[in-house]
Amino acid sequence: MMMINSVAKEAKRKTGNRFIDCDIHNEVPSNEVLKQYLPLRWRKYMDMVGLRSYHGFVQSVPYPKGNPGGTRADAWPPNGQIPGSDLKFMQEQLLDPLNLEYGILNCLYRVGEQLNDEYGAALARAVNDWQIAEWLDKEPRLRASIVIPYENADMAVEEINRVASHSGFVQVLIMPRTREPMGRRKYWKIYEAAENHGLPIAVHFGGLGGNAITSSGFPSYYIEDHTSMAQAFQCQVISMVCEGIFERFPNLQVVMLEGGFAWMPSLMWRLDKHWKRLNEEVPFLKRKPSEYIRRHMHFTTQPIEEPPVPEYLLQVIEHLGSDDMLMFATDYPHWDYDSPDLTFDAKFPEKLKQKFFYKNAQSLYRFPDKE
Amino acid sequence: MQKYVVATADEIPPGQRKIIKIAGKSIGIFNINGEFFAIRNRCPHGGAPLCEGVLSGFVQSPVPGEYTYTRKGEIIRCPWHQWEFDVKTGQSWVDPVKTRVRSYEAKIEQGCSLVNPAEIELEKGPFAAETFSVSLDKDYVVLEI
């Protein structure tokens, strides 16, 4: 990867919206680093067997190889390790120049898709301990998501209960490409634990649960894969609502990260219409599906849809029927990063900007308002 | 128009670049086969430091299954969202979000063209990065802003 010294670092923001970044990625720099947090049994297993997951990409992922880690080309730290692995460089490139108030780390290390449940659980413990030691305890602006082996709910709950008391953890992370739709009973214990701890469930782009990215099988090109991730999110919204998750766990909040949101209004309309006809099948749903969505679900903005007329997004928000659901995210250091200064120059009302740059996330995560 | 000496000629060999800050602007100076070009180091799409991107060529496909790779070393790929720009003109080849009227008029689905129309017969995209003229004055690269 070519490195050129930048003289064009983003200028320090002196004005503009305060913001909370709901999606920053911290990367485990190497297996050797993670081994410091693994017991001998799993250090040896890492060398002997390593990752074994539900799909064919064991040591890799089905993402473009020309862009390792799917990162911004200018986000490689001076030490040459993977972007997102160096706190100091993240501070210099993101936290300091942008004057961010809070940032939430979502570590995408592949703990959730391990066929060996015990290894997945061991990796989750190691990654969470690494997050505490290397990130949360070193940088007060950062918070993090608890990573869990989400295909084994018992083990996932153990891990949630183990670390939830650390004030740096603010949610529980799952990837939308699960083995089964997330409303299914095999996952319910996870929601119970999250609700008990007052932690939202965060669902972040990705995961390799073994199912095809589309409902019709595997497409040829990455552009299809990338676009079709919205299908995975749509499945999870439908499943969580229709299986009655929000009746059973009435205080549970769910954050959809990096899945887009412009598709939500039509999905809400469609669900509401079908619910009126089919509610006898799901009589435990006491409200219209769209009401559960507005009460319990949140969507991050990045990568924000880019309609030919930017102001069309205002219509989408109107159709959502709520301006409380959207929260800003950069996705740093990934390649579809959104800048807090440049992403929203559609003529958005100031009040709306304040909500999705700051207030919606501050309210959901109960962060102290720094002003 | 103000002239600035920004580099010695041998400081930027063919295929290389230098990013400078001048008159409040960050600008990338590129040497493409001995000719110098300059574009602003700020992507008009998302604000990225465009000139830090990978210098590449342009892949085109007249029909599925046939590919051509042209303009090697003349196309810069944005380090964030991978939008491509012609270093020689600043022309981009994708549909920008902020030119809503033009994006309708430009009919991007027909593709886009490069500077040499004999080589590739496509229409220009609707958007251009800000460009600056650069001349080689004796042994120095001089930038005009």
What's the count of helices (H) and strands (E) in chain B, helices before strands? 1, 9
CB contacts, 8 Å: B52 with chain A: 4, 6, 8, 73-74
Sign of CA dihedral B30, B34, B69, B116: positive
Report the C-alpha gap between A308 and B95 in whole angstroms: 9
Sign of CA dihedral A56, A58, A61, A65: negative
What pLDDT score was predicted for residue A16? 55
Report the C-alpha gap between B138 and B141 in whole angstroms: 8
Q: How does strand A142-147 pair with strand A102-105?
A: parallel
- Total-model pTM: 0.85
Q: Is the pLDDT of residue A154 over 50?
A: yes
Q: Any idea of the CA torsion for A136, A100, A371, A169, to the nearest 10 degrees?
A: -30
Identify the residue among B52, B95, B98 best suited for mutation to test binding to A, counting A beta carbons within 10 A and taking the highest.
B52
Identify the residue among B97, B108, B127 best suited for mutation to test binding to A, counting A beta carbons within 10 A and taking the highest.
B97
What ranges in A58-211 are assigned the alpha helix state H?
87-90, 117-131, 153-163, 188-196
What ranges in A221-354 are assigned the alpha helix state H?
222-242, 245-248, 264-278, 289-296, 312-320, 350-354
Counted across chains A and B, CB pairs separated by less than 8 A come out at 67
What rounded mean pLDDT belongs to chain A? 91
- What's the pLDDT band for A64 if we cut at 50, 70, 90? confident
Do you know the residue count of chain B? 145
What pLDDT score was predicted for residue B102? 22
- The answer to whether A342 contacts chain B (CB < 8 Å) is yes
Any idea which of A309-318, B53-62, B124-133 has the lowest mean pLDDT? B124-133
What pLDDT score was predicted for residue B138? 57
How many percent of chain B have pLDDT more than 70?
Answer: 72
Contact in structure between A13 and A95 (CB atoms under 8 Å): no
In total, how many domains does chain B have? 1
Q: What is the pLDDT of residues A157-187, one digit of tens each?
A: 999 999 999 999 999 999 999 999 999 999 9
DSSP-derived 3-state class of residue A113: coil
C-beta atoms of B54 and A2 within 8 A = yes
Span A111-137, average pLDDT: 97
What range does the domain containing B109 cover? 3-144
Q: What is the full DSSP assignment across A146-170?
A: EE--TTSHHHHHHHHHHHTTSTTEE
Which CATH number fits the domain that encloses residue B96?
A: 2.102.10.10
Report the C-alpha gap between A192 and A303 in whole angstroms: 30
Model ipTM over 0.85:
no
Report the C-alpha gap between A328 and A255 in whole angstroms: 12
Comparing A131 with A57, the larger pLDDT belongs to A131
Using alpha carbons, list the distances in angstroms from residue A54 to A181, A216, A224, A287, B63.
15, 19, 21, 36, 36
Q: What are chain A's domains?
A: 20-365 (3.20.20.140)
- What's the pLDDT band for A14 if we cut at 50, 70, 90? very low
Q: How far is B89 from chain A (nearest CA, A)?
A: 21
Q: How does strand A297-300 pair with strand A326-327?
A: parallel
